[in-house]
Structure 1
């Protein structure tokens, strides 16, 4: 019997394989403004962050002012790219279909983006009514508020929940809220999660047994 009563999933990089797509787009847009950056930088510094934090970091790299249209252009380009290329994280659909515990998703992304992406990969019906966005409460990881809100709404205490995260900010947020957290390391290129998460795993197919 699992020690946990509820599973809280991050979205990008845990349910949907969106991080490579969105980070490459933001790199390309930053470089168009004179930044000399690359995909590895983005995965280290942007993954798990909300967009305003990314913009703050980009502003220190570019040689031209960031236009007011930057965010709208970025979101339009990512949505088009998601329509063409977005896939579920390998093995995650089987996890969701066979998970016997209550579960939800809590992310730094916009709720509209989460719904769009989950719908694209066929998982939205599983999460209806259980979608929690940092934008709703205007508090972002590593602040634990989104996880605390999710747990409370689902009817559980933090110690009864397990958070599934792929970013260091997300792992820190979970720990700050008193949650155990499993770090999904398939895209943990800098090995940031190894000494931070309660446990780590590289293959989503291992998650059900871990639970």
Structure 2
């Protein structure tokens, strides 16, 4: 697989590398209930998916006038790790793509470095992403600001227009657009409802793709004229 117009692929993590969104949402809903806010998993997903932890706390405060204590973060992480150990798996097709990929790639996620390390360890993906993982911890603002994607590109000395982002959330797509990067809106995670494709398109996704077969075929056919 060779290409002269694409120099770096930037993957989001949750819902793109691992099928974690449903598990993360379940953990968040359980933790919120313990701290006095009972919401359905669908409500929690609408509220928090694609946000940094800090942005999620701010949104909870704005919508429900609830200030969560530091113990909430500890409890949410505990519940998340329990579910990840039991159920977390890579998104179907990811490992096959990585095994064939000759282009440089990295991860840029709103998750913390601690969460990312645990995620890759739980799914035996650490050897694919060691030394090429970037977190919202590394920048002033996470997605939907462009900072994280621009930081990843800078670390790889790659101009934004020669990067390709793969993200499954509207906030991630907006971040890529703001960074000047073409972006695949990915709907291959188990959490993806039919409405997600339209939401990613509306957020500015250059393409919307349902699985890694489509992503792989696109990378192989990538042509600079598509972005001229």
TM (norm. structure 2) is 0.86
Deviation at 1:71, TM superposition (A): 0.6
The structure 1 residue matched to 2:160, chosen from 158, 161, 170, is 158
Q: Answer yes or no: is the 8 Å Cα contact 1:183–1:200 preserved in 2.
A: yes
2:210 match: 202
Deviations 1:148-198 (A, max 9, x none): 111111121000000000001100000001000001013442331123200
Deviations 1:88-144 (A, max 9, x none): 111111111111210000000111211221122222112111111111223111111
The structure 2 residue matched to 1:74, chosen from 49, 73, 76, is 76
Q: Point out the more displaced range, 21-30 or 50-59.
A: 50-59
Note if 1:120 corresponds to 2:122. yes
Note if 1:44 corresponds to 2:46. yes
2:104 match: 102
Paired with 2:151 and 2:70, the residues of 1 have a C-alpha distance of 32
Query: Higher helix share goes to which structure?
Result: 2
Aligned length: 211
Paired with 2:117 and 2:173, the residues of 1 have a C-alpha distance of 23
Paired with 2:121 and 2:166, the residues of 1 have a C-alpha distance of 20
TM (norm. structure 1) is 0.92
User: Please, what is the CA RMSD of the aligned residues?
Assistant: 1.8
2:8 match: 6
1:144 match: 146
Deviation at 1:44, TM superposition (A): 2.2
Runs of 4+ in 1 over 6 A off after TM superposition: none
2:223 match: none
Structure 1 unaligned spans of 5+? none
Q: Answer yes or no: is the 8 Å Cα contact 1:35–1:58 preserved in 2.
A: no
Q: Answer yes or no: is the 8 Å Cα contact 1:92–1:205 preserved in 2.
A: no
Paired with 1:33 and 1:128, the residues of 2 have a C-alpha distance of 35
1:21 match: 23
